[in-house]
Copies of this chain bind each other. A is one copy, B any other.
Amino acid sequence: MMLYMGRRAREAAAALALASTEAKNAALLLMAERIEAAAPKILEANAQDLEAARAKGRDTAFLDRLALTESGIAAMAGGLREIAALADPVGQVMARWTRPNGLEISRIRVPLGVVGIIYESRPNVTADAAGLCLKSGNAAILRSGSESFLSSLVIANILSEALVEAQLPDASIQLVPTVDRSAVGFMLGGLSGAIDVIVPRGGKDLVGRVQAEARLPVFAHLEGVCHVYVHGGADLDMARRIVLNAKMRRTGICGAAETLLVDRAAAPTHLAPLVKMLIEAGCEVRGDPATEAADPRVKPASEDDWPKEYLDAVIAVKMVDGLDEAIAHIARYGSQHTDAIVTEDRKAAEAFLARIDSAIVLHNASTQFADGGEFGMGAEIGIATGRFHARGPVGVEQLTIFKYVVRGQGQTRP
């Protein structure tokens, strides 16, 4: 059954690769409309999912992620409309040059092919991920979490109906029609070459399993252990604003700061005010001895705190002796996701930006900007920390590859 889905996805992908921008956009707008119109039906399915999850004793955070509301459904439709408004990456000429022998070579964007998305409790991923795949000309095989299955199924059926009406293959978007765990294993094996890339959307357990077991490329980040380094040349007011935003704007997202590094040169003037600000904003501070000395409310940090992704109102704070120690700390404990330096010293900033090997490095800005929308790339299917193909926010462009088109006038190779 899974292999059959794979074959249908491959066929759909071949048709989608040649679909016009107009047809894809028409389908996306139709999907948005139909999702809004079907809100009562989606909410009804979601209520059933929620009831079952409650009966299983799932916690509040889980139920929050699972729950859909009228405004959540409107946001899903709005997301599809935003994707329709994005430039179509397929067919874009990435480069074009002419050889001395007259051959005209173009590097043209083409879709990756078939994207497998494995997600957990958030049913809105069904529409978001499917929309991004459609716009970039890829077929999508979606494997929803068992707890959100009924909600996802209603949404996926609406998307398929819109595809048919827009005269695109209905198999462009397929939801695995089972909550059997073995489906995930099949997908991680690539369905005999039918899937080109896997995108896991969910917690660390899911992403870790996918990264360990997948026999094909994965777009993902396991965690975001993001650092803010307040350099000796940092302006205190700017450091305050950036640290507070990076840690506390939303603590549960991957771009939230987890560790604050304060340079020894800035510590006498900056460490105590930053710690005080964080504690008074409701953040628990776990510090090294220098930080403990700065405020009696600081708890001692242990070695476990440095590589920790709290995803909560907790931060680890350490004093470092210069740029080299800051960079070494981030290389050792970071997750190559997003790291920032705060300083007025341009030279130190450039050294940090060059030497930190993370998907996103920032100077004088909050780590919470780690987001495809904030980058102006439109929606993102996730953020990747791998070093292959895509890195940072994965938007429609990153869901493409290229081919070379060569136009000649009868040239043969000497």
Contacts and interface: CB of A to CB of B under 8 A. Distances in A.
- Each complex incorporates copies of this chain amounting to 2
Contact of A408 (B249, B363, B388, B413): B363
A113 interface: yes
A413 B243 CA distance: 11
B112 A388 contact: yes
Contacts of A365: 103, 406-412
A124 B405 CA distance: 30
A413 B371 CA distance: 10
A21 interface: no
Given A112-B387, A403-B358, A374 B196 contact: no
A241 B412 contact: yes
A363 B407 contact: yes
Interface in A392-410: 392, 401-410
Contacts of A242: 410, 412
Given A18-B355, A374-B99, A406 B361 contact: yes
A387 B235 CA distance: 47
A393 to B, nearest CB: 8
A362 B392 contact: no
Contacts of A217: 217, 388
B368 A387 contact: no
Contact of A404 (B99, B375, B405): B375
A351 to B, nearest CB: 10
A406 B238 contact: no
Given A105-B375, A105-B376, A359 B412 contact: no
A353 B412 CA distance: 18
A143 to B, nearest CB: 20
A14 B391 CA distance: 18
Contact of A401 (B197, B353, B360, B391): B391
B241 A410 contact: yes
Contact of A387 (B354, B363, B401): B401
B404 A392 contact: yes
Contacts of A411: 364-366, 369
23 contacts: A17-B357, A18-B354, A99-B374, A99-B375, A103-B365, A103-B369, A112-B387, A196-B388, A217-B388, A241-B412, A245-B412, A361-B403, A361-B405, A362-B407, A363-B407, A365-B406, A365-B412, A369-B411, A375-B404, A387-B401, A388-B389, A388-B401, A389-B389
Given A103-B365, A369-B413, A392-B404, 14 more contacts: A99-B374, A105-B376, A112-B388, A196-B387, A241-B412, A246-B412, A249-B413, A359-B404, A361-B404, A361-B406, A363-B408, A364-B407, A364-B410, A365-B408
Nearest 4 A-B pairs (CB), nearest first?
Answer: A365-B408, A245-B412, A389-B389, A368-B413
